[in-house]
Amino acid sequence: MDKANELKFTYSSILFNKKGEKVVRVCFEKQEAGVRKFAEGVIPEGKIDSSFGFSGEEITQLEEYLKENSADIMLEARKITGITHWLK
- What confidence tens digit (pLDDT) does each residue in 53-82 have? 999 999 999 999 999 999 999 999 998 877
Domain total of the chain: 1
Judged against a pLDDT cut of 80, whether residue 83 lies above it is answered with no
Output the pTM of the full model: 0.82
CB atoms within 10 A of CB 76: 13
What span, in angstroms and rounded, lies between the C-alpha atoms of 37 and 82?
A: 30
Q: Which domain covers residue 61, as residue numbers?
A: 3-87
38: helix, strand or coil: strand
Q: List, in order, residues 6 or more apart from 16 with CB less than 8 Å away.
A: 22, 23, 88
What pLDDT score was predicted for residue 70? 96
What span, in angstroms and rounded, lies between the C-alpha atoms of 65 and 60?
A: 9
